[in-house]
Amino acid sequence: MISPEERDKITASGEDCKNVSKRPAPGYIPEGYVPTPGGVPRMGAHWIDPKAPEFNGQPFNETFIYGFYGGKMVFVEPMATIAFLETKPEITKELKLPECYPTSAYYPMNYSISYNDTGKEYTLALEGLTLR
């Protein structure tokens, strides 16, 4: 959601930690999501759902992250492990959605992970794009 130049300025270290740790306004955070400690260079703060299986005694297979920097949403990210992809999953999951969005644009309502045996290709797709 930001330019490559803006992304390159995110160091997540030193003085930049202030920008990484700046909290977004509550409406921009999906209900129940919390920030992880620290930040990631070129990304910012990762906000996760602590009710996700990987935080409740289950193995980490896949999850969905919202990213913030300077208190603004800068990315959305489905994540999956290689081990999970190797199971050739066919899943679609609804997202926990925020009430507010940083700009008027199309945002996903869900994401899917699938495998195409003919093409031997994995697809992680943001779906249900809706104008917000």
pLDDT tens, residue by residue, 71-85: 999 999 999 999 999
Domain layout of the chain by residue ranges = 4-131
pTM of the prediction?
0.91
Tell me the C-alpha to C-alpha distance, in Å, between residue 123 and each of 8, 92, 108. 27, 11, 15
Alpha-carbon distance of 111 to 124, in angstroms, equals: 7
Confidence of residue 62 (pLDDT cuts 50, 70, 90): very high
Confidence of residue 125 (pLDDT cuts 50, 70, 90): very high
pLDDT tens, residue by residue, 42-56: 999 999 999 999 999
pLDDT tens, residue by residue, 5-20: 999 999 999 999 999 9
